[in-house]
Structure 1
Amino acid sequence: MLNNKVFKCENIRTMHDTMIRLYEAARLLCGLKTPTEVARLLNLSPQVVNNWERRGISKAGMLDAQEKVGCSAVWLMTGQPPMTVEGNHGTTASNSSNSEQKGDEIASSAATERSTMAVETDAARMSAPQRVRAALHNKGLTAAEIASVAGVGVDTASKWLEGEGPELTLPQAVALQNTYGVNSVWLTKGKGEPGIAIQFADEYRPITITNWRAIPVVGRAQLGDNGHWADLEYPVGHGDGYVDFPSKDPDAYALKCEGDSMRPRIKAGEFVIIEPNQPIEPGDEVLVKSKDGRVMVKEFLYKRGGRTHLISVNDAHKPMAFSDDEIEKIHFVRAICRPSTWRPE
């Protein structure tokens, strides 16, 4: 319970400096005389006020006091005058106090904005629940409304509104951002601005993909090291069905892949689109057919000393090298297509 003695110097000498200043402002500006009256004005529990007396006022609490008591948040934090912000018309305690108040109230709106910004730059030192309070406490929201949006219990939401309780998860912060427009990164990390600075309203301008045509499936390629070619020997321009794909290469063809050496890049049952007229660069996937009949899809590393070096995406399969006189053809793999893209003739 709070000590409800009237504010006196001997009662507050052991309090945190920020709380001494808050009680002084509450007395001069609002005519409040007890801690309970301050707690009621700020809509706080007695326990929160007791904690502030020992540890100091939270940053969210300073912003709240600035609005409801009329004292500057920067003055609460540092003691640097002026005490009040523009627009405050506090209760008169004495002639001298009244004169001091009027002098403090000369602060301009620019000074008020600077004081608020000075506290916001310290947001990283606040806990996530304190940032929730700073962002949502004055929106007139109930704990039940916040709990429904964030997917938490009402008790947790109530603690957040007091600047206490558990830390927010990212999904909870994003839910609050989507509903109330408060920056989820600021809520969780204290970085950036409290409000959402960027709204996504990009013009929808899709790029039309041209050159679609039916690419004939002419065989199968093994994705393991001991590849084989199952040449279906269809006439030129025909094959075992087609894969719809945009290609400028008039000689493009498709192969159905089997095995796992290129997994997860290429899965068994998928189709690769081959463009034999496309130059090959290191890092490209390629179809390699050796003169002994093996056909495989690998990643081209480099060519040196008359030997072509290849690897698999899957580390379980060792690198390979072929001499020039062992290779019948090596073609560029343009794309990988899902089995659902295949259609019969």
Structure 2
Amino acid sequence: MNTFNDRFKIAFNKSGLSQHDLARAVNVSQPAIRKLVAGDTKSFRKISELAQALKVNVEWLSSGQGDSGLDVPQFEFMGAVKSRAVKVKGEAVMGANGAFEMDESLSGYLKFYSDDPVAFSLRVKGDSMFPRINSGEFVVIEPELVPASGDEVFVKLKDGRYMIKKLEYLRNREYRFTSINQDHPPITISSELVDKVMYVSAIVKSSRYIDVNSVTN
């Protein structure tokens, strides 16, 4: 798109967010977002936060350069699951402080390609990670990729608890995790208490979900 306003309108319309939700996510007033939607603002100071809330690449949103991040590879479904489509292994029912319980009754696949042969996905239920992850969206987890500082990760603790966090560091046998929702404080956990830390590669809309039973029956 030629202008910032053009790119913003495309991203905003695809996001499904209301003006109120976006204002809250970016921590600006709703009138500021209203001006953006109306095309009265030619630039925006908090461009990085805006791109994160809209789930687009910041470079594309600010300058039009590079990939927008809006396009996700699609697969045609003809009664059999496409090779390497990501399996859904359950639902993450969000609780307090960013921890969640696993409900493994949900199954199926996502119309989403992964190079990791053991990649899997979970559907998020609850709003504790809003606006980064909305209730009903899926997180794709690729266990064979080694996460780095700043990456979003799926954490399994040895006591059976699960979390989705940002990895800050592993140092002196301690993990430091930052919460995706800034309302929750960072936490430090001994590596002896951590079973697995796995890379979260994508957040996928619910429209990509394939319920195999409903298709084949």
Instruction: Check whether TM > 0.5.
Output: yes
* Contact 1:284–1:333 (Cα < 8 Å) also in 2: yes
The alignment status of 1:220 with 2:98, answered yes or no, reads no
Which residue identity is paired with 1:214? A
Number of aligned residue pairs: 138
* Contact 1:222–1:295 (Cα < 8 Å) also in 2: no
Determine the C-alpha separation between the residues in 2 that align with 1:314 and 1:208.
Answer: 25
Offset of residue 259 of structure 1: 3.0
Determine the C-alpha separation between the residues in 2 that align with 1:222 and 1:312.
Answer: 16
3-state DSSP class of the match of 1:225? helix
Q: Which residue of 2 aligns with 1:266?
A: 133
The alignment status of 1:298 with 2:169, answered yes or no, reads no
Instruction: Pick from 87, 96, 104 the counterpart of residue 232 of structure 1.
Output: 104
Instruction: Pick from 287, 296, 307 the counterpart of residue 154 of structure 2.
Output: 287
The aligned runs of 1:111-190 (5 Å cut-off) are: none
Q: Greater relative contact order: 1 or 2 (C-alpha under 8 angstroms, separation 6 or more)?
A: 2
Percent of aligned pairs with the same amino acid: 38
3-state DSSP class of the match of 2:207? helix
Determine the C-alpha separation between the residues in 2 that align with 1:257 and 1:337.
Answer: 10
Determine the C-alpha separation between the residues in 2 that align with 1:221 and 1:171.
Answer: 38
Q: Which residue of 1 aligns with 2:62?
A: none
The aligned runs of 1:309-320 (5 Å cut-off) are: 309-320=176-187
Determine the C-alpha separation between the residues in 2 that align with 1:208 and 1:245.
Answer: 7
The 3 A distance-change label for structure 1 pair 259 and 318 is: farther
Structure 2: unaligned runs, 5 residues or longer: 1-37, 43-70, 75-81, 213-217
* Contact 1:284–1:300 (Cα < 8 Å) also in 2: yes
3-state DSSP class of the match of 1:260? coil
Offset of residue 247 of structure 1: 0.6
3-state DSSP class of the match of 2:97? coil
TM superposition score normalised by structure 2: 0.56
Over the aligned positions, Cα root-mean-square deviation in angstroms equals 2.9
The 3 A distance-change label for structure 1 pair 338 and 305 is: same
3-state DSSP class of the match of 2:102? coil
The 3 A distance-change label for structure 1 pair 299 and 284 is: same
The alignment status of 1:341 with 2:208, answered yes or no, reads yes
Q: Which has the higher strand share?
A: 2
Q: Could you list the per-position Cα deviations for residues 250-282 of structure 1 after superposition, in whole angstroms to 9, with x for gaps in the alignment?
A: 000001112333221111211000000001111
Determine the C-alpha separation between the residues in 1 that align with 2:125 and 2:190.
Answer: 25
Determine the C-alpha separation between the residues in 2 that align with 1:342 and 1:208.
Answer: 13
Moved over 4 A (4+): 207-212
Offset of residue 212 of structure 1: 6.7
Which residue identity is paired with 1:336? I
3-state DSSP class of the match of 1:282? coil
* Contact 1:228–1:293 (Cα < 8 Å) also in 2: no
Determine the C-alpha separation between the residues in 1 that align with 2:72 and 2:182.
Answer: 38
Offset of residue 231 of structure 1: 5.1
* Contact 1:221–1:296 (Cα < 8 Å) also in 2: no
Q: Could you list the per-position Cα deviations for residues 210-254 of structure 1 after superposition, in whole angstroms to 9, with x for gaps in the alignment?
A: 997421111223454262332528xxxxx6111111110000000
The alignment status of 1:308 with 2:180, answered yes or no, reads no
Larger Rg: 1
Q: Which has the higher helix share?
A: 1
Determine the C-alpha separation between the residues in 1 that align with 2:205 and 2:104.
Answer: 21
Determine the C-alpha separation between the residues in 2 that align with 1:311 and 1:284.
Answer: 10
Question: Which has the larger displacement, 320-329 or 331-340?
Answer: 320-329
Offset of residue 208 of structure 1: 10
Determine the C-alpha separation between the residues in 1 that align with 2:121 and 2:160.
Answer: 18
Structure 1: unaligned runs, 5 residues or longer: 1-169, 175-206, 234-238
